[in-house]
Structure 1
């Protein structure tokens, strides 16, 4: 058994000293050009390497991360999905999710490569204005999910929206 390698956690609502039992575990698999799972953004607090193709990353309660899962066969892509998830605290309600234990609060779900690619572009746009997607308002990711599900264009996440989210967070709203 490989030991958990912990790394300090910075801002973003997650606690680096959270008990291991309270951590959300995400199993990642990388079999080149067959099955590829990766974290697009997120601040993990540790990692456990299982073998050369599999590892588990750990997220503290409250941490937000984007998990991308992709698979193909000899004929091309057969599955692609992107989920933006908030790690939950012990006893908090959550949705189950493949490869995420125990599960999490799903803020956004995109299925199929066209939708996944669109969400990746939206994440890139958030980064382009100088905001780490981890720090973006969770409501923004819900908004993006709902707009894409309705076939509409989501509003851009701007510095002004981010400042407003920070102010609401400061006063506890």
Structure 2
């Protein structure tokens, strides 16, 4: 055994107080596309012409879209909305997201993904940054779309109520 300081394994970075959540974005036109629909990016590293890694701070909310196709059409489509976690917090693993996050919404299949994108557009049309919407809203959207129902709209009044609950610690 070595007596030196602990060195984290390269694939498992030290999750200290300044830990971030990293998302690998890939863009191969009409084949494989990963992109961020919303989220406040804290840092970015370009790995190649087609690949980069974006980082988000603890507590940040983001929407990550994954889409791939073959010569015969769409093979896979998925959207995940998650809140970035800190050291010691429980998290759910998501492909291309390290380490993972508090999963608020996870939808697969292009028609359903489009409905989530429309729900995001509706939040933004109400003048609210989707990053700041209540986590419960994204869970609601997930549940309603999963069962084939229309989600309830996120209004300015609902957002103000969320901000008041947050301010009082409820």
TM-score by shorter chain over 0.5: yes
Which structure has the bigger radius of gyration?
2
Equivalent position of 1:64 in the other structure: 61
The answer to whether the 8 Å contact 2:17/2:87 transfers is: no
Residue-by-residue CA offset, 1:13-69 (whole Å, 9 max, x unaligned):
xxxxx9686100000000011000000000010000000000000000000000000
Matched, 1:133 2:124: no
TM-score scaled by length of structure 1? 0.88
Task: Name the SS of the counterpart of 2:88 in structure 1.
Answer: coil
Task: Name the SS of the counterpart of 1:152 in structure 2.
Answer: coil
- Count the aligned residue pairs: 156
Equivalent position of 2:99 in the other structure: 102
CA RMSD of aligned residues (A): 1.3
Whole-angstrom distance in 2 between the partners of 1:30 and 1:37? 6
Task: Name the SS of the counterpart of 2:119 in structure 1.
Answer: helix
TM-score scaled by length of structure 2? 0.89
Q: Measure how far apart 1:152 and its partner are.
A: 1.6
| Residue in structure 2 matching 1:122, options 119, 124, 127 | 119
Structure 2 gap ranges (5+): 1-14
Equivalent position of 1:7 in the other structure: none
Equivalent position of 1:49 in the other structure: 46
Q: Measure how far apart 1:150 and its partner are.
A: 1.9
Structure 1 gap ranges (5+): 1-17
Matched, 1:148 2:157: no
Task: Name the SS of the counterpart of 2:77 in structure 1.
Answer: strand
Whole-angstrom distance in 2 between the partners of 1:68 and 1:91? 26
Residue-by-residue CA offset, 1:69-114 (whole Å, 9 max, x unaligned):
0000111111100000110011100001110001111100110000
Whole-angstrom distance in 1 between the partners of 2:164 and 2:146? 29
